[in-house]
Structure 1
Protein backbone atom coordinates (compact mmCIF):
# COMPACT_ATOMS: atom_id res chain seq x y z
CA UNK A 1 0.00 0.00 0.00
CA UNK A 2 2.84 2.39 0.78
CA UNK A 3 4.31 2.00 -2.72
CA UNK A 4 0.87 2.60 -4.26
CA UNK A 5 0.56 5.85 -2.29
CA UNK A 6 4.07 6.87 -3.34
CA UNK A 7 3.25 6.16 -6.99
CA UNK A 8 0.11 8.31 -6.72
CA UNK A 9 2.17 11.12 -5.16
CA UNK A 10 4.71 11.03 -7.98
CA UNK A 11 1.94 11.04 -10.57
CA UNK A 12 0.52 14.12 -8.83
CA UNK A 13 3.97 15.72 -8.57
CA UNK A 14 4.38 15.35 -12.33
CA UNK A 15 1.78 18.13 -12.72
CA UNK A 16 4.22 20.58 -11.10
CA UNK A 17 6.76 20.46 -13.96
CA UNK A 18 7.15 24.25 -13.89
CA UNK A 19 5.75 24.81 -10.41
CA UNK A 20 7.21 26.15 -7.20
CA UNK A 21 5.94 24.59 -3.98
CA UNK A 22 5.90 26.24 -0.57
CA UNK A 23 7.02 24.52 2.65
CA UNK A 24 3.74 22.63 3.04
CA UNK A 25 3.83 21.44 -0.57
CA UNK A 26 7.42 20.27 -0.21
CA UNK A 27 6.60 18.34 2.96
CA UNK A 28 3.54 16.79 1.30
CA UNK A 29 5.66 15.24 -1.45
CA UNK A 30 8.92 14.58 0.43
CA UNK A 31 7.85 13.20 3.83
CA UNK A 32 6.39 9.94 2.45
CA UNK A 33 9.89 9.21 1.11
CA UNK A 34 11.61 10.10 4.40
CA UNK A 35 13.21 13.23 2.95
CA UNK A 36 13.74 16.53 4.72
CA UNK A 37 15.11 19.23 2.44
CA UNK A 38 16.65 22.66 2.86
CA UNK A 39 14.23 25.08 1.23
CA UNK A 40 15.27 27.88 -1.11
CA UNK A 41 14.37 31.53 -0.59
CA UNK A 42 13.21 32.87 -3.95
CA UNK A 43 12.03 36.23 -5.22
CA UNK A 44 9.30 36.66 -7.77
CA UNK A 45 10.35 38.08 -11.13
CA UNK A 46 7.24 37.76 -13.34
CA UNK A 47 8.37 40.71 -15.45
CA UNK A 48 11.29 38.67 -16.83
CA UNK A 49 11.04 36.28 -19.76
CA UNK A 50 10.07 32.91 -18.23
CA UNK A 51 10.17 34.61 -14.83
CA UNK A 52 8.74 33.26 -11.60
CA UNK A 53 5.33 34.40 -10.34
CA UNK A 54 4.44 33.58 -6.73
CA UNK A 55 1.10 33.50 -4.93
CA UNK A 56 0.10 32.84 -1.35
CA UNK A 57 -2.52 30.25 -0.35
CA UNK A 58 -5.28 32.83 -0.99
CA UNK A 59 -4.16 33.55 -4.56
CA UNK A 60 -2.59 36.91 -3.68
CA UNK A 61 0.62 37.80 -5.51
CA UNK A 62 3.68 37.80 -3.23
CA UNK A 63 7.24 39.03 -3.74
CA UNK A 64 9.15 36.16 -2.15
CA UNK A 65 8.67 32.66 -0.81
CA UNK A 66 10.47 29.69 0.68
CA UNK A 67 10.18 26.30 -1.02
CA UNK A 68 11.41 24.18 -3.92
CA UNK A 69 10.58 23.65 -7.57
CA UNK A 70 8.85 20.51 -8.73
CA UNK A 71 12.09 19.56 -10.49
CA UNK A 72 14.06 19.94 -7.27
CA UNK A 73 11.60 17.66 -5.48
CA UNK A 74 11.61 14.95 -8.16
CA UNK A 75 15.42 15.07 -8.23
CA UNK A 76 15.65 14.65 -4.44
CA UNK A 77 13.30 11.67 -4.54
CA UNK A 78 15.22 10.09 -7.42
CA UNK A 79 18.50 10.38 -5.51
CA UNK A 80 16.94 8.95 -2.33
CA UNK A 81 15.60 5.92 -4.26
CA UNK A 82 18.84 5.46 -6.28
CA UNK A 83 16.93 6.02 -9.51
CA UNK A 84 19.06 6.57 -12.59
CA UNK A 85 17.65 9.53 -14.53
CA UNK A 86 18.37 10.96 -17.96
CA UNK A 87 20.06 14.34 -18.34
CA UNK A 88 17.70 16.42 -20.46
CA UNK A 89 17.51 20.05 -21.48
CA UNK A 90 14.50 21.89 -20.15
CA UNK A 91 13.12 21.81 -16.62
CA UNK A 92 9.80 20.33 -17.66
CA UNK A 93 11.34 17.52 -19.69
CA UNK A 94 13.80 16.68 -16.92
CA UNK A 95 11.05 16.68 -14.28
CA UNK A 96 8.72 14.45 -16.31
CA UNK A 97 11.60 12.07 -17.03
CA UNK A 98 12.47 11.93 -13.32
CA UNK A 99 8.86 11.17 -12.39
CA UNK A 100 8.57 8.42 -15.02
CA UNK A 101 11.80 6.79 -13.80
CA UNK A 102 10.69 6.97 -10.15
CA UNK A 103 7.32 5.38 -10.91
CA UNK A 104 9.04 2.64 -12.92
CA UNK A 105 11.35 1.90 -9.97
CA UNK A 106 8.45 1.87 -7.48
CA UNK A 107 6.49 -0.60 -9.62
CA UNK A 108 9.30 -3.20 -9.43
Structure 2
Protein backbone atom coordinates (compact mmCIF):
# COMPACT_ATOMS: atom_id res chain seq x y z
CA UNK A 1 0.00 0.00 0.00
CA UNK A 2 0.95 3.61 -0.31
CA UNK A 3 -0.08 7.12 0.64
CA UNK A 4 -1.23 9.54 -2.05
CA UNK A 5 -3.11 12.79 -2.54
CA UNK A 6 -6.06 12.82 -4.92
CA UNK A 7 -7.23 16.21 -6.15
CA UNK A 8 -10.74 16.32 -7.59
CA UNK A 9 -11.86 19.28 -9.63
CA UNK A 10 -15.18 21.08 -9.94
CA UNK A 11 -15.21 20.60 -13.70
CA UNK A 12 -16.41 17.13 -14.64
CA UNK A 13 -14.33 17.41 -17.81
CA UNK A 14 -11.12 17.50 -15.83
CA UNK A 15 -9.52 14.27 -14.64
CA UNK A 16 -8.48 13.98 -10.99
CA UNK A 17 -4.84 14.76 -10.22
CA UNK A 18 -2.96 12.01 -8.39
CA UNK A 19 0.14 12.88 -6.32
CA UNK A 20 2.03 9.91 -4.85
CA UNK A 21 3.35 10.74 -1.39
CA UNK A 22 5.03 7.69 0.13
CA UNK A 23 5.12 3.95 0.39
CA UNK A 24 3.42 2.60 3.50
CA UNK A 25 6.77 1.45 4.89
CA UNK A 26 8.45 4.84 4.45
CA UNK A 27 5.38 6.58 5.86
CA UNK A 28 5.61 4.52 9.06
CA UNK A 29 9.40 4.62 9.32
CA UNK A 30 10.07 8.26 8.46
CA UNK A 31 7.04 10.45 7.90
CA UNK A 32 4.89 9.45 10.87
CA UNK A 33 7.53 9.60 13.64
CA UNK A 34 8.77 13.00 12.46
CA UNK A 35 5.22 14.34 12.11
CA UNK A 36 4.25 13.18 15.58
CA UNK A 37 7.44 14.67 17.06
CA UNK A 38 6.60 17.99 15.39
CA UNK A 39 2.99 17.86 16.59
CA UNK A 40 1.59 18.07 13.05
CA UNK A 41 -2.16 17.75 12.51
CA UNK A 42 -2.59 16.46 8.95
CA UNK A 43 0.41 14.23 8.21
CA UNK A 44 -0.37 11.71 11.01
CA UNK A 45 -3.89 11.34 9.57
CA UNK A 46 -2.81 10.40 6.05
CA UNK A 47 -3.36 6.71 6.64
CA UNK A 48 -6.95 7.33 7.77
CA UNK A 49 -7.91 8.93 4.45
CA UNK A 50 -8.78 12.49 5.47
CA UNK A 51 -10.55 14.86 3.12
CA UNK A 52 -8.82 18.23 3.36
CA UNK A 53 -10.90 21.33 2.78
CA UNK A 54 -9.47 23.55 0.06
CA UNK A 55 -9.14 26.32 2.66
CA UNK A 56 -6.86 24.04 4.71
CA UNK A 57 -4.41 23.51 1.86
CA UNK A 58 -2.02 26.24 3.09
CA UNK A 59 -1.87 24.54 6.52
CA UNK A 60 -1.21 21.18 4.88
CA UNK A 61 1.57 22.68 2.76
CA UNK A 62 3.06 24.26 5.87
CA UNK A 63 3.18 20.82 7.48
CA UNK A 64 5.06 19.46 4.46
CA UNK A 65 7.56 22.33 4.85
CA UNK A 66 7.98 21.66 8.59
CA UNK A 67 8.51 17.99 7.91
CA UNK A 68 11.04 18.79 5.21
CA UNK A 69 12.97 21.11 7.54
CA UNK A 70 13.01 18.48 10.28
CA UNK A 71 14.35 15.78 7.97
CA UNK A 72 16.86 17.96 6.09
CA UNK A 73 19.76 17.32 8.46
CA UNK A 74 20.44 13.79 7.18
CA UNK A 75 21.84 13.01 3.71
CA UNK A 76 20.04 9.65 3.82
CA UNK A 77 16.76 11.59 3.52
CA UNK A 78 17.69 13.23 0.19
CA UNK A 79 15.13 11.28 -1.84
CA UNK A 80 12.43 12.03 0.73
CA UNK A 81 13.28 15.74 0.60
CA UNK A 82 13.06 15.65 -3.20
CA UNK A 83 9.63 14.00 -2.90
CA UNK A 84 8.40 16.67 -0.49
CA UNK A 85 9.72 19.42 -2.77
CA UNK A 86 7.88 17.85 -5.70
CA UNK A 87 4.64 17.53 -3.69
CA UNK A 88 4.88 21.20 -2.67
CA UNK A 89 5.46 22.17 -6.30
CA UNK A 90 2.42 20.17 -7.42
CA UNK A 91 0.20 21.66 -4.71
CA UNK A 92 1.47 25.19 -5.35
CA UNK A 93 0.44 24.92 -8.98
CA UNK A 94 -3.22 24.29 -8.16
CA UNK A 95 -5.87 26.90 -8.84
CA UNK A 96 -7.89 26.51 -5.65
CA UNK A 97 -10.98 27.94 -7.35
CA UNK A 98 -11.03 24.84 -9.56
CA UNK A 99 -10.53 22.28 -6.76
CA UNK A 100 -13.58 20.55 -5.27
CA UNK A 101 -11.88 18.06 -2.93
CA UNK A 102 -8.48 17.03 -1.65
CA UNK A 103 -8.43 13.43 -0.44
CA UNK A 104 -5.41 11.78 1.14
CA UNK A 105 -4.99 8.11 1.83
TM-score by length of 2: 0.31
Higher Rg: 1
Going by fraction, where is strand more abundant, 1 or 2? 2
Could you say which structure has the higher helix fraction?
Answer: 2
> What TM-score, normalized to structure 1?
0.30
Higher relative contact order (Cα pairs below 8 Å, separated by 6+ residues): 2
